[in-house]
Structure 1
Amino acid sequence: MHSHELVAFVLGVLPISEIRGSAVYVFATSSNIFTVILGLLAGLAGNLIVPFIAYKILDLLDYAFRSKYTPRVVKRAYLIILEHGRRRSRSVQGKGYIALSLFVGIPLPVTGAWTGTLVAYVLGLDRRKSILAIETGVLLATIIVTATISLGIQVLKQLFLL
Structure 2
Amino acid sequence: MSLEAVVLELLSSVPHWLATVIIGALPIFELRGAIPIALGIYDMNPIAAYLFAVLGNMIPVVPLLLYLDPVSKYLRRYAIFDSFFSWLFGRTQRNHSARFEKYGTLALTIFVAIPLPVTGAWTGCAAAFVFGIKFRHAIIAILAGVLIAGLIVSVVTLTGIGLLDLI
Provide TM-score, normalisation by structure 1. 0.77
User: 1:82·1:123 contact (CA, 8 Å) conserved in 2?
Assistant: no
Structure 1 position 51, deviation (Å): 1.6
Partner in structure 2 of residue 154 of structure 1: 162
Partner in structure 1 of residue 36 of structure 2: 24
Q: Which amino acid aligns with 2:68?
A: L
Partner in structure 1 of residue 151 of structure 2: 143
User: 1:100·1:133 contact (CA, 8 Å) conserved in 2?
Assistant: yes
Partner in structure 2 of residue 102 of structure 1: 110
Match of 1:115 among 123, 129, 133: 123
Partner in structure 2 of residue 127 of structure 1: 135
User: Quick one: structure 1 residues 5 and 137, their matched pair in 2 at CA, closer, same or farther if it must change by over 3 Å?
Assistant: same
User: Quick one: structure 1 residues 82 and 10, their matched pair in 2 at CA, closer, same or farther if it must change by over 3 Å?
Assistant: closer
Partner in structure 2 of residue 37 of structure 1: 47
Moved more, 98-107 or 39-48: 39-48
User: Quick one: structure 1 residues 12 and 152, their matched pair in 2 at CA, closer, same or farther if it must change by over 3 Å?
Assistant: same
User: 2:25·2:56 contact (CA, 8 Å) conserved in 1?
Assistant: yes
Question: Could you list the runs of 4 or more consecutive aligned residues of structure 1 that deviate by over 6 angstroms after TM superposition?
Answer: none
Structure 1 position 131, deviation (Å): 1.2
Moved more, 57-66 or 19-28: 57-66
- 1-side partners of 2:44 and 2:58: how far apart? 24
- SS class of match (1:31): coil
User: 2:38·2:49 contact (CA, 8 Å) conserved in 1?
Assistant: yes
**Which segments of 5 or more consecutive residues in structure 1 lack a partner in the other structure?**
none
- 2-side partners of 1:154 and 1:64: how far apart? 49
User: 2:108·2:124 contact (CA, 8 Å) conserved in 1?
Assistant: yes
**Which segments of 5 or more consecutive residues in structure 2 lack a partner in the other structure?**
1-13
Percent identity of paired positions between Structure 1 and Structure 2: 34
- 2-side partners of 1:26 and 1:143: how far apart? 14
Aligned residue pairs, count: 151
Q: Which amino acid aligns with 2:60?
A: V
